[in-house]
Amino acid sequence: MNQLRESSVIAQSLMDNINNVIVGKEKVVELSLVALLSGGHLLIEDVPGLGKTTLAKAIALSTGCSFKRIQFVPDLLPSDITGVNIYNQRSGEFEFRPGPIMTQVVLADEINRAPSKTQAALLESMEERKATVDGVTHELDRPFFIVATLNPAEYHGIFPLPEAELDRFTVRVTLGYASFEQELAIIERQEQTDPIDSLSSVASPEDLILVQDQVKEVYVDDLVRRYIVSLVQSSRQHQDVVLGASHRGSLSLFRATQSLALIRGREFVLPDDVKELAVSVLGHRLIILPEARSRGVNGPGVITSIIDNLSIPGAH
């Protein structure tokens, strides 16, 4: 259990360090770390200019991980992401030029500005930590973390994310606009220099791998496991849902609750952890009936209603 406590200290240090540059978004930072420590990926949906890129950079800098940014545009090719084999005239052989996916923290910026074929280049990497180019599979280093930013549906020139891709994101968050006082603080902090330029690491990639491994040691009682499964199964039976959360959704929620408990210094998961994370972990995985969408029903709303009406199995 000493290693669990040590991992919790590392996680808290990461959160404090990132909060030095992300003003007033402690909950979003915590959810981002939940995705990172779960060994998953993060989806941020919001309008431009609210700090999505800064958050991704802050995560990479705080953990000492390598970082690359991919700007998704309509003419981006899958090979622009995974890499390409180029013929070397001197050697008479093809040489592999790795793409930006071959790093530890990847920012997939405005991911829905590229068509589904290009987005699909991420699927193998997100699930299996591998990238196959011309029949040759390249292993990706640990830790491997994708932070994708998503433009709201009202924007022009965007493509929908395939369901299989959405399902691979552990957590979806929205930064939202800052309050009056928070926006004043942002101006003051950046009056002379950008705080991200002086942000240093408080952990190493090896530390992060240790914490990710220790997350799996956080105790989850059978009552909580049954609550997770009941919640996910209820999403499949909801009258407004075409397709409910997958088995991957169950596993993601399970691991996310372990991560949240560790971040908060606990060695066990509480039912309240499930309630707190369910919308962020499951909301983006549901496909809503068209007629329900026209009434304003969405995934997060469905999960919220399920939580409100679902009792914890075995609780009195």
* Tens digits of pLDDT across the chain (316 residues): 588 889 999 999 999 999 988 888 899 999 999 999 999 999 998 877 778 889 999 999 999 999 999 999 999 999 999 988 888 888 888 888 888 999 999 999 999 889 888 888 898 899 989 988 888 888 998 899 999 998 776 566 778 888 888 899 999 998 888 889 988 988 888 878 788 888 899 999 999 999 999 999 999 999 999 999 999 999 999 898 888 899 999 999 999 999 999 999 999 999 999 999 999 999 999 988 889 888 988 889 999 999 998 887 666 5
- The 8-class DSSP code of residue 268 comes to B
Question: How much is the pLDDT for 49?
Answer: 75
Q: Give the pTM.
A: 0.91
- Please state the φ and ψ torsions of residue 231, each to the nearest 5 degrees: -65, -45
In CATH, 218-316 is 3.40.50.150: no
In terms of CATH, what superfamily is 1-198?
Answer: P-loop containing nucleotide triphosphate hydrolases (3.40.50.300)
Long-range pairs of 22-26 with CB within 8 A, sequence gap ≥ 24: 22/51, 22/54, 22/55, 22/58, 23/178, 23/182, 23/185, 23/186, 23/189, 24/178, 24/179, 24/181, 24/182, 24/185, 25/51, 25/55, 25/175, 25/176
DSSP notation for 33-53:
HHHHHTT--EEEE--TTSSHH
Long-range pairs of 247-253 with CB within 8 A, sequence gap ≥ 24: 248/167, 248/168, 249/167, 249/281, 249/282, 249/285, 252/38, 252/40, 252/170, 252/281, 253/228, 253/277, 253/278, 253/281, 253/282
Q: Where are the domains of the chain?
A: 1-198, 218-316
Question: How much is the pLDDT for 260?
Answer: 97
Question: How much is the pLDDT for 9?
Answer: 93
